[in-house]
Every structure is written in C-alpha cells, then in structure tokens.
C-alpha cells in the first residue's frame, strides 16, 4: 500500500458518495474509473464495501425519523405497514443477489462495455420517464401499497447489471407506479438501507479469507470519503428533484456512457 493507492481510494470514495443516491450508477462509475486508471480491488470488494459509508450517511441525516420508526414499530400500524413495504421491496434483490453474486462479480463487473451501454439505455429511459405528465397517485412514501413496493423491489433487481443504477431503477420503478418525484427518491433512500447493508455483509463474508490489512486501510479511506460526500447529496437531493426532476441525471448518463464507449474503442 502506498500514498497513491490511498489517494485513489479517496477519489473513488468521493465518487461513490456523490453518485450512490442519484440515478447514474455509482458502481458503474467506480468500475469505469477504476478500469481507465488501472485500479482493481481484491475480489472487487472495495466497490461494494465502501457503500457502508453511504448507508451511514442516510442514517445520520434521517436519524430522527429512523428513531421514530423504531420506537413506534411495536404498536403503530402505519409504521409496521411502511417498514413491511420496504422489507418486501428488499426481498427480491436479497434472493437473486445471493444466487447471482459470483456471476455479477466475475462477469458483469469485468465487462466495461456492458456498463457503458447500460448507462446510455438508462439515460434515455430516465429522460422519458422524467418528461411524462401524469398526475401522481402517491405523494408520500407511507402511501405506497405493498403491491407497489414489491414491484419496485423487482425492478431494483435490474441494478445487478452495473451501469443500470440501484437508485435509478427504484426511482424509475416508483415513478411508473404512480409516485411523485420526491417520494420516489425518498423511497429509494429507505430501500437502500437494507439492500446495501445486505450486499455489504454478504460480500464481506464471501471475501473474508482474501482481504488483507492493506485492503482494510484502502477500504477505510474510501468509506470515510463516501460518507462525507453522500451526506451532502442526501441533504439536498430531495429538494432538487422535487423542483427540477431527473433530466440532468439522464443527460449525465448519456454523456458518461458515450464517452466511456469511445474511450474503450480507442484505448481498449
């Protein structure tokens, strides 16, 4: 481990935190940047494990609300309904992710052209959904029916293809199910907690025998910078999308995916 490795880890951590909760695919960005600068983590664990920083960013910003949910969960039906909806949405990704883990890490993570194509396709879809003029059925995450939560969870499974975006798939899914732009992003925040925590725990377990002390320090640096940058995004994203929508992120996906494809053709 050297100073350059720590600087790269810090840079990738910032990228993770800035992109995890916006619909542009944080994993896709990390893998593309890593590909072009020659960074490859042990077992591709760095890209998954630093997500813990982003998880804790949500917990810190939403602590009061999460504490309220915890306190009222035993005897409040509305809280029980909402928590049940989030866990139901998490279930498909937990099942499919466990079975497809090795394929995702050894095949999809190693195919940058798939990431670029996914970014471009997702950009067009996001622009289309953002421009739809449909009266929303749901304006608060507690209003989502369980059937809607399950369907959002099924759509989230598309994000196992790097470049698709976990937040992008859940936000688009929620918008198509009738949510307004703010509640779609907020439900994506809540669904991120069990999804990313599950991915972190499972990946750490799978790679526990191959990670070294050097990996620990690199992951720690990435975790800290991911946390700091993610706090900024979580604090301001909901107000931004409520006012301006998701168009900017759709165009960003198209640009990054296109530039990535050209770079792959030129540099390999």
User: Who contacts 96 (Cβ-Cβ below 8 Å, separation ≥6)?
Assistant: 157, 160
**H or E segment to which residue 170 belongs:** helix 166-176
Instruction: State the Rg of the chain over Cα.
Output: 18
pLDDT of residue 1: 62
Tell me whether residue 198 is in a domain: yes
Tens digit of each residue's pLDDT (9 = 90 or more) over 65-109: 999 999 999 999 999 999 999 999 999 999 999 898 888 888 888
Give the pLDDT confidence of 183-206 residue by residue, as tens digits: 999 999 999 999 999 988 988 888
In a domain, 40, yes or no: no
Q: How many domains does the chain have?
A: 1
In a domain, 177, yes or no: yes
| CA dihedral (132, 149, 116, 221) positive or negative | positive
112 lies in some domain: yes
Cα 112 to the center of its chain, rounded Å: 18
167-191 average pLDDT score: 94
Please indicate, yes or no, if residue 138 is contained in any of the structural domains. yes
**pLDDT for residue 147 is more than 90:** yes
Domain carrying residue 193? 3-35+45-267
59 in any annotated domain: yes
Q: What is the pTM of this model?
A: 0.90
């Amino acid at each position: 481990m050297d100073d350059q490795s720590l600087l790269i880890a810090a840079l990738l951590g910032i990228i993770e935190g800035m992109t995890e909760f916006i619909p542009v695919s944080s994993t896709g960005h990390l893998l593309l940047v890593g590909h072009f600068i020659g960074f490859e983590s042990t077992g591709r664990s760095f890209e998954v494990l630093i997500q813990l920083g982003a998880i804790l960013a949500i917990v810190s910003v939403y602590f009061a609300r999460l504490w309220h949910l915890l306190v009222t969960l035993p005897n409040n039906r509305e809280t029980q309904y909402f928590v049940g909806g989030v866990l139901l949405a998490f279930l498909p990704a937990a099942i499919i992710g466990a079975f497809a883990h090795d394929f995702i890490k050894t095949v999809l993570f190693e195919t940058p052209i798939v990431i670029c194509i996914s970014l471009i396709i997702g950009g067009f879809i996001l622009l289309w959904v953002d421009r739809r003029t449909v009266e929303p059925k749901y304006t608060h995450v507690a209003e989502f029916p369980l059937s809607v939560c399950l369907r959002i969870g099924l759509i989230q499974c598309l994000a196992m293809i790097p470049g698709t975006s976990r937040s992008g798939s859940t936000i688009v899914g929620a918008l198509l199910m009738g949510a307004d732009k703010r509640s779609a992003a907020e439900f994506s925040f809540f669904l991120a907690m069990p999804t990313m925590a599950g991915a972190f725990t499972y990946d750490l377990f799978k790679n526990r025998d191959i990670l070294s002390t050097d990996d620990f320090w690199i992951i720690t640096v990435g975790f800290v910078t991911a946390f700091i940058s993610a706090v900024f995004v979580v604090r301001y994203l909901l107000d931004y999308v409520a006012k301006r929508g998701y168009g900017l992120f759709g165009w960003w996906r198209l640009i990054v995916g296109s530039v990535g494809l050209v770079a792959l053709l030129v540099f390999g």
